[in-house]
Chain A
């Protein structure tokens, strides 16, 4: 390279600025060129001014109690079994329930679409999750899949609510990390079921799931160990909304409905080729 004729490019200047020019000979060439070339000197000075500008933005100094705050937040987390980090949260743990619920809804939807072709298919309005009182119909696979799933979801939710409601303060703090983790998992499913219920016009289900959501959220976002006052607050929120009773009633309704939508048992054929019921 001719020092006098060829100007330095930006990458050379940046590497030179940080001392990252790999070759000592090249570094020396750059240095000589900078010494002799006014244009490259100006270019290098402009680059340095920009970097000095970046330096001018200060990093705020944490307050004197910062380390204690970090420790106080860290200490209860250290006592818990490993919880998912952001990356894990966005990959494995969160995606499993989301994927399973999404798959379930997709299956239910496809099943429903297929059942639409059946001649005896009831109108869509009767396809709500729990409030329909229509007679058993073999063309209701979508509803049945959803009913089973919502019933299971309500069972699991009931368990979390009961455990929180019946928790006795353990000394100064009560460990609710298990309930918290389950509430986090239920939250995603709860949102999807609520949206499905709203879509199918099932007000009874969507209303209860809607009331559940803030409480599940509150449990999920509580510290892993809660004080007596915090536990009282959680218990009060569950009690004030009558959530346990509402979930039980809805669960029971959903289960009844699910039983009612099961396909009728096929009568056994007798040896004469006629059905047992014809005897």
Chain B
């Protein structure tokens, strides 16, 4: 696969723009999955894919490790998704400047208590997905990126640190903070009904 990538990259650099299509067909789904995990919605994920491949195309002449195009475009995708998350965060902050943090944050605990959920009931009703998505939105862009890359994508701390320009210690800490936040928000939904109501 990677050897084939090198051939396509060489063709594109030689002026055959349409050869880039093969690279898009080969790698756009993996970039999409990553982008969806990072941004949390399909429209943003598609935007990330588009931007990642466009950036890759425009910088192809600077790409030296031609055998690893998939890895390279994936990494560009991480950066594009991170940029977009930061942009969305700024937009959201501008919209809610006047509101307090408590007003803005989805009150997951209250929502859980009001509907007497059990894990089974939540899973069956489809609420679980919403709770997980709401909890993921509480992570900062860096925390979310670190968590997605470590947890879902199985990337090493060194790889994640290189993308985020963080030391190994700071990268581990970002993953930890992400897990800590997720646990705080989601644990009530994953325990039994009897223990699902910690005091607020």
Chain A residues in the interface with B (C-beta under 8 A): 10-11, 14-15, 18, 20, 22, 46-47, 49-57, 59-60, 62, 66-67, 70-71, 73-75, 77-79, 82, 85-87, 90
Question: B36–A10 contact, CB under 8 A?
Answer: no
User: CB-CB < 8 A to B29: which residues of A?
Assistant: 62, 66-67
Other-chain contact of A53, B20, B28, B33, B132 (Cβ < 8 Å): B132
Known A-B contacts A49-B190, A70-B24; the reply to A15 vs B172 at CB < 8 A is yes
A contact patch SS? helix
What separation, in Å, do the CA atoms of A87 and B152 have in the docked complex? 26
Sort A-B residue pairs by CB-CB distance and give the 6 closest, nearest first: A49-B190, A67-B25, A57-B132, A50-B183, A59-B36, A14-B176
Other-chain contact of B84, A54, A57, A86 (Cβ < 8 Å): A86
User: CB-CB < 8 A to B17: which residues of A?
Assistant: 75, 78-79
Other-chain contact of B25, A55, A71, A85 (Cβ < 8 Å): A71
Of the listed stretches B47-55, B63-71, B102-110, chain A binds B47-55
CB distance from A69 to the nearest CB of B (A): 8
CB 8 Å contact bits of B111-128 with A (1 = contact, 0 = none): 000000000000100001
User: How many residues of chain B have a CB within 8 Å of chain A?
Assistant: 48
Best-surrounded residue of B42, B136, B179 (most CB of chain A within 10 A)? B179
User: CB-CB < 8 A to A70: which residues of B?
Assistant: 24, 28, 46, 49-50, 53
Question: B129–A47 contact, CB under 8 A?
Answer: no
What separation, in Å, do the CA atoms of A22 and B173 have in the docked complex? 13
Question: A46–B191 contact, CB under 8 A?
Answer: yes
User: CB-CB < 8 A to B42: which residues of A?
Assistant: 60
In the assembled complex, B32 has its CB within 8 A of some CB on chain A:
yes
Interface residues of B in 153-172 (CB under 8 A from A): 157, 168, 172
Question: B123–A56 contact, CB under 8 A?
Answer: yes
Question: A54–B151 contact, CB under 8 A?
Answer: yes
What separation, in Å, do the CA atoms of A56 and B186 have in the docked complex? 12
23 contacts across the A-B interface (CB closer than 8 A): A10-B179, A10-B180, A15-B172, A18-B150, A18-B175, A20-B150, A46-B191, A47-B183, A50-B187, A52-B190, A54-B182, A57-B133, A59-B36, A60-B42, A67-B29, A70-B24, A71-B24, A74-B20, A74-B24, A77-B54, A78-B54, A82-B58, A86-B84
User: CB-CB < 8 A to A85: which residues of B?
Assistant: 51, 55, 80, 83
Other-chain contact of B128, A51, A57, A90 (Cβ < 8 Å): A57
Best-surrounded residue of B20, B50, B183 (most CB of chain A within 10 A)? B183
User: CB-CB < 8 A to A50: which residues of B?
Assistant: 179, 182-183, 186-187, 190
User: CB-CB < 8 A to B176: which residues of A?
Assistant: 10-11, 14-15
Known A-B contacts A46-B191, A50-B183, A51-B179; the reply to A74 vs B54 at CB < 8 A is yes
In the complex, the chain B residue whose C-beta lies closest to that of A22 is B168
In the complex, the chain B residue whose C-beta lies closest to that of A87 is B83
Question: A86–B191 contact, CB under 8 A?
Answer: no
What separation, in Å, do the CA atoms of A20 and B149 have in the docked complex? 14
Question: B33–A54 contact, CB under 8 A?
Answer: no
User: CB-CB < 8 A to A77: which residues of B?
Assistant: 50, 54
In the assembled complex, B99 has its CB within 8 A of some CB on chain A:
no
User: CB-CB < 8 A to B193: which residues of A?
Assistant: none
User: CB-CB < 8 A to A67: which residues of B?
Assistant: 24-25, 28-29
User: CB-CB < 8 A to A79: which residues of B?
Assistant: 17
In the assembled complex, B74 has its CB within 8 A of some CB on chain A:
no
Question: A54–B186 contact, CB under 8 A?
Answer: yes
User: CB-CB < 8 A to A49: which residues of B?
Assistant: 187, 190-191
What separation, in Å, do the CA atoms of A82 and B33 have in the docked complex? 26
User: CB-CB < 8 A to A87: which residues of B?
Assistant: 83
In the complex, the chain A residue whose C-beta lies closest to that of B178 is A14
